[in-house]
Structure 1
Amino acid sequence: MTTRGLTSGKGRVRLSSSNGSLKPAGINQEKMIDPHLRIRRAIRADDALLVRRILRSHPNLLHNPDLTGSREEAGNSNLHLAAKLGHVEIVRLLLSLGHESPTVGPALNEQHQTALMLAAAAGHTEVVHAIAEADPSVIHRRDSRGRDAVMEAALGGHDTCLQILLTYVPGGAYEAVRQADLEGNTALHYASSKGNMLVLRTLLAAGADADRRNVWLWTAVEYSQSVQSEVYLKNLIADMEKRRASKREAVRDERVGTSG
């Protein structure tokens, strides 16, 4: 399409040769874009001020699920997108505006993933902290495969995110690290498959069950990424068992001493 400039008494306009329409040369093209797309562009650009301004004019776009994206992003809300990108200022803005309602529950995409899961998988520490602090119960939510945010953090090898989740999770870290997905895999299975030493240590310290088998009867050790990580995990397990045995013995001795 070609255009040519015309000058009139009212200023400069453009004539489109394709349809003969006249448009003012100074028009703000951004305002012509659908608000659904504008707010997503603002989120991708990490422009919290623009996001706030768009939502002020279009409060119905607070969630704005993506119905046109790829299968991976299908159903992602504004919070999903901001969390996945690690844009914590926008995440806090959306939370403050009521994006995640305690009565309705967290927004879920088509794979039933929460924004917290995406942030944990990507290792965005500040975002994980913001969402977990705002509503700790969301840590327990499962996606269509039975995975939760703790498993996603373990799979991604993000130890700081994992520690934040285990700090806030209702019911305590012990129960959280012993949960399994639909295939019987625990966070320890996922961490072992990636060989992240810090994550393995954190999970075992929290009480992860190293003997737990998935539906294929495999333990976490059998998923070890390498021989080195397998040896490391076995040593960690042995060390943890020794510590627990020592604690049990100390408690038993204390009880005997008290009764005597």
Structure 2
Amino acid sequence: MIDPSLRLRRAIHSADTLLVQRILHSHPSLLLNPDPSVPLGLSNTSLHLSSSLGHLPIVRLLLKLGHDSTPSSLSLNEEHQTALHLASAAGHTDIVHLLCSSCPWSIPRRDIRGRDALMLASLSGHDTVVQILLTFSPSGPEALLAGSDNDGNTALHFASSNGHLLVLRTLLAAGADSERRNVWSWTAVAYSATVQAEVYFKGLVGEVERRRVARERAVEEKKGGAVRVVGVDEEM
């Protein structure tokens, strides 16, 4: 007789949603079911495992049954990572969208290295995931973009160092600070993977700055157009 907890993990690996449902119906206490195996278990829960593997129906089932239903019940593995961390790093767009809408409190959560889901998605080059995280960020995209890990690296640093040009464009368009320095005083552009990437990065920064100046000028002109100067004779 196979241990129910092991059967549950095997069912998740096999993407067998019906079997997962039957096991949890018979053993509701196994909903979290952290994996204690060494070295790869990391105490990952059922939601961690299914999110990392990209099994959307199982993730949906686990959330419906109450997995990570409140901020205080948010499950973390031994590296302090949430299911959203793993789904974002793997680029499972649909699961990231579901987790962001169901557990938005997990979006700014940092792991043991100080990295949030946005940093991991930027590191791996998952542009659509980056857009979803910025959209659902509880405190707005600015707060998420301002975050940095234990070494002071932002999502922009990770995108730059790995040559993910689409992610660079998305982050800069959302307001990422290209002059932000890490603990070694390096900006993101200094970590450009290639010379071509550096040129592209600098071009993006220039484009964003030009658009910002154009917006500010348009606002000033609009304000100026609304002002009516009254002459002395007219006032009399």
What is the DSSP-based 3-state SS (H/G/I as helix, E as strand, rest coil) of the residue aligned with 2:226?
helix
Equivalent AA in structure 2 for residue 107 of structure 1:
S
Equivalent AA in structure 1 for residue 158 of structure 2:
Y
| 1:92 corresponds to 2:60 | yes
CA contact (8 A) 1:66 1:76 kept: yes
**Matched ranges for 1:59-98 at <5 A:** 59-70=28-39, 72-98=40-66
* CA-CA distance at 1:253 after TM superposition: 1.3
Query: Relative contact order, CA 8 A, sep 6+: which one is greater?
Result: 2
Equivalent AA in structure 1 for residue 145 of structure 2:
V
CA contact (8 A) 2:161 2:192 kept: yes
Equivalent AA in structure 1 for residue 21 of structure 2:
R
Gaps (5+ residues) in structure 2? 229-236
Structure 1 CA distance for aligned equivalents of residues 189 and 59 of structure 2: 37
Structure 1 CA distance for aligned equivalents of residues 10 and 141 of structure 2: 37
* CA-CA distance at 1:182 after TM superposition: 1.3
Structure 2 CA distance for aligned equivalents of residues 178 and 62 of structure 1: 35
* CA-CA distance at 1:241 after TM superposition: 0.5
What is the DSSP-based 3-state SS (H/G/I as helix, E as strand, rest coil) of the residue aligned with 2:98?
helix
Equivalent AA in structure 2 for residue 100 of structure 1:
D
What is the DSSP-based 3-state SS (H/G/I as helix, E as strand, rest coil) of the residue aligned with 1:140?
coil
| 1:203 corresponds to 2:182 | no
**Matched ranges for 1:15-164 at <5 A:** 32-70=1-39, 72-164=40-132
Equivalent AA in structure 1 for residue 2 of structure 2:
I
Q: Deviations over 1:18-44 (max 9, x none)?
A: xxxxxxxxxxxxxx1111110000000
Equivalent AA in structure 2 for residue 80 of structure 1:
H
2:202 aligned partner: 234
CA RMSD after TM alignment: 1.0
CA contact (8 A) 2:69 2:103 kept: no
Structure 2 CA distance for aligned equivalents of residues 211 and 133 of structure 1: 32
Higher-helix-fraction structure: 2
Which structure is larger by alpha-carbon Rg, 1 or 2?
Answer: 1
61-70 vs 36-45, greater mean Cα deviation: 61-70
CA contact (8 A) 2:81 2:111 kept: yes
* CA-CA distance at 1:181 after TM superposition: 1.1
2:155 aligned partner: 187
What is the DSSP-based 3-state SS (H/G/I as helix, E as strand, rest coil) of the residue aligned with 2:212?
helix
* CA-CA distance at 1:176 after TM superposition: 1.2
Could you state the TM-score of these two structures normalised by the residue count of structure 1? 0.86
Gaps (5+ residues) in structure 1? 1-31
Higher-strand-fraction structure: 1
2:188 aligned partner: 220
Could you state the TM-score of these two structures normalised by the residue count of structure 2? 0.94
Structure 1 CA distance for aligned equivalents of residues 200 and 73 of structure 2: 40
Structure 1 CA distance for aligned equivalents of residues 108 and 71 of structure 2: 16
* CA-CA distance at 1:104 after TM superposition: 2.1
Structure 1 CA distance for aligned equivalents of residues 10 and 138 of structure 2: 35
* CA-CA distance at 1:130 after TM superposition: 0.9
Structure 1 CA distance for aligned equivalents of residues 175 and 69 of structure 2: 32
* Aligned residue-pair number: 228
Equivalent AA in structure 1 for residue 104 of structure 2:
P
CA contact (8 A) 1:178 1:207 kept: no
